[in-house]
Amino acid sequence: MTASWVAARLGVRLVDGARPAGAGLSSLVGLAVRRNPKRAHLLVSAVLGKHVPTDPRLVYGSGLLLGELVRARLRGDEPSRPGSLLLDGLRGEPNAATALRDLLRVPQAPVDAIVLGYAETATALGHSVADALGGAYYLHSTRRPVEGFAPYGGFEEEHSHATSHLLLPADPAPLDRDVPVVLVDDELSTGRTVLNTIEALHAVRPRRHYVLAALVDLRGPADRARMDALAARLGARIDAVALAGGQVELPEGVLEAGRAIVAGISSPSAMPEGGPGLDVTRVEMDWPAGLPDGGRHGFLPDYRARLEKELARMGDALAAGLGEASRVLVLGFEELMYAPLRLAEALADARPDVDVRYSTTTRSPVLAVDDPGYAIRTRLVFPSHDDPADGPGERYAYNVAPGTGQRPFDRIVFVVDDVGDTQALAGGLLERLRALAPVTVATVPSYRRAS
């Protein structure tokens, strides 16, 4: 990944640690500068599919790999080893991403657990971990209050620019069980967020076993001691697993230096006015009736089985509208990450001749710098389009427009839920996207209670 630009200007340094999956921290993340007064740097994952368009099979395979580490920890087994497949996939070796995914989606003995993913970044990652366990109930936090769904609990993500999270299960019964609870985030920096969550959950329904799961674990000795102290106080076991460990070394004054960089640089926004106005078309995928679009209100193993049966058909529907496109981005929408990921994966399988990538839009403000040594080369800025509870605001899509010397996409497939498929979308993000490439919109019905 790309970290040299930030390292040179902020003095931030990535230090590799444990490599249980065969890849080090510096291979799994790059660095960018946040537009956030609380943290100067952003770790940009090479396998999350949030800020960097990525082969969807590498994204899903990496999530399954993290789930395999969780499964082995819960069962007391040795995890399946991917050999060099993860590292080969990160290097872009042909077929490595597909081989990683195929290795890890071989059915294992189901493990009963509750898996919780963090919005917005880890909603698909948590879902992938639940998939790897086979018998898990999955729920992700949300920043979108939904009429008819009562909050089960909440927590605060201290470093985030938008901290309110809700748990809105359609049925609280799957949560009210003493089975292991797995909390999934893209990174463990100090671990405070997940420990706060454990305390909130434990106050409602005590459990004996919790597992923290992340792509990278950056915690220091004091953070690990804090986790052990909480476990002792609650009388519970708390474990942690990650694809890679390490540290981010921060020099003195990094916050002030980061603010100075943000103030001194205007991000390339890639929003051409009066662009070519390429076509915007829509595709009907016939999303299965009654199947939730993700884990906002809970996702059961039976739902997973239904989705697996329908994915190839929906991938074919997307493939039929590609025309002669050879490089396609499937772009998801904020918390709606899992459905676009699996659709992108199905599309890549249906059209092996096409270079399919996957990423999603985000609320996170990040500085873009068009430099090969920087992880966020370009950004699109557009208005929110789903009537968010915290009011309207800017949203972002990173690395969708090509940086200097990069190959552009010749088709963009935007996957959105029907709540976000609004006039504000048509006049905002879709206008930005169609200035870059022809756009296909695929709308997925947002889960609602049966009336």
* pLDDT tens digits along 58-79: 999 999 999 999 999 999 999 9
Query: Would you state the pLDDT for residue 166?
Result: 87
Query: Would you state the pLDDT for residue 272?
Result: 47
Given pLDDT bands bounded at 50, 70 and 90, which one contains residue 163?
Answer: very low
Kindly report the pTM of this predicted structure: 0.95
Per the listing, tokens 């529907």 go with: 317
Query: Would you state the pLDDT for residue 449?
Result: 77
Percentage with pLDDT > 70 across the chain: 94
Q: In terms of pLDDT, which residue wins out, 374 or 448?
A: 374
**Residue partners of 172: CB distance under 8 A and separation at least 6:** 152
Query: Would you state the pLDDT for residue 390?
Result: 78
Percentage with pLDDT > 90 across the chain: 80
Cβ contact 372:2 at 8 Å: yes
**Token code pair at residue 11:** 């003095």
Closest to 240 measured CA to CA, from 69, 102, 395, 90: 69
Min mean pLDDT across 80-89, 183-192, 262-271, 280-289 is at 262-271
CA torsion sign, 124 to 34 to 47 to 200?
negative
Query: Would you state the pLDDT for residue 38?
Result: 76
* pLDDT tens digits along 165-202: 789 999 999 998 999 999 999 999 999 989 999 999 99
Given pLDDT bands bounded at 50, 70 and 90, which one contains residue 263?
Answer: confident
Number of domains in the chain: 1
| Residue 237 domain boundaries | 1-451
Query: Would you state the pLDDT for residue 161?
Result: 43
- Give the pLDDT mean for 110-121: 96
Q: Is the pLDDT of residue 269 over 70?
A: no
Given pLDDT bands bounded at 50, 70 and 90, which one contains residue 268?
Answer: low
Min mean pLDDT across 103-107, 143-147, 369-373 is at 143-147
- Residue 261, CB-side half-sphere exposure with 13 Å CA sphere: 26
* pLDDT tens digits along 201-252: 999 899 999 999 999 999 999 999 999 999 999 999 999 999 999 999 988 8
